[in-house]
Amino acid sequence: MRFSPDPTELPKVPRPKTTVFTHTDDAGVTPSVSRAVADLWRAGILDGFSVIANGDGMAELREAALSAPERPLRLAVHLNLSEGQSSAPPARVPLLVDDRGHLRHSFGSLLSFWIGGSPARRRALVQQAAEEWRAQTARVTDGFAPRRLASLDGHIHVHALPFLFRVACEIALEFGVPGVRISREPLFLPPGRFFPPRSWWDNLPKHVVLRACSRLNEPTANAAGLSHPDRIVGILSSGRMSAADALAGVSAAERGGAKVIEVVFHAGRETGPPVSRWANRADLERSYRSVGRQFEAEESARLRETLIRRGYRSD
């Protein structure tokens, strides 16, 4: 997939004041996912990607990032408590791992642990999450040097839980990372439909919960002096987001006063043989092998073309 428009051929339109970044999560999880993400970034379709530090595809991303040092890259760590071998020694993070030493939590299981846990167990969970995320951030920082990290965010949005968002902010300050994602998306309907598709309804509870978390998290980020997009787009349409969906989200965010918007795709599809990290996680394997990820990769290219044609910034 290639994208190299000639700026002289673009129509002369007023340049919007809004900055829109195009981004993908889940980079680095496997070599094939990483190659797909790297191709999109090299082609100028994506501004950046979030790296799963304990994945098997870091080498492919690093090679791409360091082979074109002149090309801007919004590099982020995709803080992970949900899959793959822990980056910290498993014995030091027992609340986070299964008997294989693999990270085992979902957004829901972390929330349940917090609600039902004693104060001592809560403190232990936060301490262990900090140790694991510190190891992940160090791995990406060292692996991509001299590239600098732009932001921290969370795999399956686990960093958005307020008791873990504080941890993410502390790690950002410790590593000199200037930004953190706040998972706040405007509420909007998919364009061209009388009734939203089932996927929109499936994603709506997640959208509502993350908006509630964002209200608590924004003061934390501001107090720490960390930057963040005013809004993100990619939760309601997650799994099969089209360029039209993304543009509808951008328009809704602009109507709400947003000046910096991050559009989050899941654009890397796993196409290789069975992967050991998903041996007991059929749900994750289905997600990574979904044709929706290939669809989102193609739609990200269409979105980029439209953003450039309309004069949006990404800097």
Q: What is the mean pLDDT of residues 238-251?
A: 96
254 Cα distance to chain centroid: 21
pLDDT greater than 90 at residue 89: yes
- The count of structural domains within the chain is 1
| pLDDT surpassing 70 at residue 6 | no
Query: What DSSP element (H or E) covers 79?
Result: strand 74-79
Q: Tens digits of per-residue pLDDT, 141-187? A: 999 999 999 999 999 999 999 999 999 999 999 999 999 999 999 99
81 within domain boundaries: yes
76: domain CATH number is 3.20.20.370
196 found inside a domain: yes
Domain span at residue 73?
7-309
On whether residue 211 sits in a domain, the answer given is yes
By CB atoms closer than 10 A (0-12, 13-18, 19+), residue 147 is middle
Q: What average pLDDT does the chain have? A: 93
The answer to whether 102 touches 85, Cβ cutoff 8 Å, is yes
In this prediction the pTM is 0.92
Q: Is-contact 182 221, C-beta < 8 A? A: yes
Q: What is the pLDDT of residue 3?
A: 39
Domain-located, residue 155: yes
The answer as to whether 314 is a domain residue is no
Pick the closest to residue 275 from 117, 53, 95, 85 (CA basis): 85
Report yes or no on 2 lying in a domain.
no
In a domain, 315, yes or no: no
Q: What whole-number distance in Å separates Cα of residue 147 and Cα of residue 235?
A: 28
